[in-house]
Amino acid sequence: MIRMVAQRLLVGVFVMWGAASLIFLIVRAAPGDPATVLLGPDADRTQIEQLRESLGLDRSLGAQYVSYLGDVSRLDFGQSHRLGRPAMDAVLDRLPATIDLTLTATAVAVIVGLTLGMLAGGRPGGALDRVVSACTIALQSFPTFWIGIMLVLVFALGLGLLPSSGVGTPQHLVLPALTLAFPFIAIIARLTRTSVAETMREGYVQTARSKGLGERQVLLGHALRNSLIPVVTVVGVQVGALVGGAVIVENVFAWPGLGSLVVDAVANRDYAVVQGVTLLIAGIVVVLNLIADLLIAQLDPRIRTGAV
């Protein structure tokens, strides 16, 4: 187990280095630079050159990369010249909002998705299975922004029950979290349904039935644990993707999270913030995958002992 964790951590370090290098190159490959954007269209060439020099952008790409890696290794992501403060301060200011949103969406998605998947997979081909399958396909098909707009129209503008945008109270969280959760519910429900349906056909499940256990006991006591393995893997990966998906939801609901920060940063060529957000998200994904691996190892002893 310790060896597995050490291996995963080592891989994590390489992933972080790869992400850091890739994002460094990608932001600099994009046309337009921070000096031009900072000074705007009114600036003349001399002003732009002066600012480029003070931002260190006149140095060679190699020199910039070496000093960047040195800074990142000390968790220093540099100064956001656009925002006039350290990039990591700006990123950490927005992180709680994104965590609130993604954790709530994940919790709703896991609870609802697992429940629906179990109910549908417990009786494949039944009426409930068909209803759940139809609903999950629909949920996956609707674009996130459309779901968000519909929820606002119904619950904020139509019924006046919930605020349409912003932060401040738990009510503000309901619509953006539901918008973000809906496609995720569909993914988890479909995966759980398939996994449960397959597990219910396994020999050990038949044995449990032959012992006279009811379907509910068979499902919860014997099939669920094994059915969860692929679900945990996907949840680990999808939570990282949720942060990306949050960009659209944050815009629709004026939710001040990392998504809107990074969109503005990319548009304004704010290298420090783009790099900071990307590496933070990469770090979160690495940690979540590690947690998912550990959970899977708990669920499946063969993985823990290295049998598979």
Binding site for another protein (CB under 8 A): 30-33, 36-45, 47-48, 50-51, 54, 79, 81-85, 89-90, 93-94, 107-108, 111-112, 114-115, 149, 152, 155-157, 160-171, 174-175, 178, 217, 220-221, 224, 251-254, 256, 260-261, 264, 267-269
Smallest distance from another protein to CB 60, Å: 20
Smallest distance from another protein to CB 32, Å: 3
Contacts 24+ apart (CB under 8 A), 263-267: 265/80, 265/82, 266/27, 266/30
Residue 122 or 236: the one with the smaller Cβ distance to another protein is 122
Smallest distance from another protein to CB 141, Å: 22
Residue 33 or 198: the one with the smaller Cβ distance to another protein is 33
Q: How far apart are CA 52 and CA 47, in angstroms?
A: 9
Residue 21 or 36: the one with the smaller Cβ distance to another protein is 36
- What are 227's two structure tokens? 């059915």
Smallest distance from another protein to CB 300, Å: 18
Contact (CB, 8 A) for 15 and 240: no
Residue 21 or 165: the one with the smaller Cβ distance to another protein is 165
Residue 82 or 190: the one with the smaller Cβ distance to another protein is 82
Smallest distance from another protein to CB 124, Å: 19
- What are 286's two structure tokens? 């690495």
Q: For tokens 């990142």, what's the residue?
A: 72
The neighbour count for residue 1, using CB atoms within 10 Å, is 12
Smallest distance from another protein to CB 13, Å: 32
- Burial of 87 (C-beta count, 10 Å sphere; 0-12/13-18/19+): buried
Residue 54 or 73: the one with the smaller Cβ distance to another protein is 54
- CA gyration radius, the chain: 24
Smallest distance from another protein to CB 267, Å: 6
Nearest by Cα to 244 from 257, 229, 254: 257
Smallest distance from another protein to CB 152, Å: 6
Residue 113 or 236: the one with the smaller Cβ distance to another protein is 113
Residue 44 or 127: the one with the smaller Cβ distance to another protein is 44
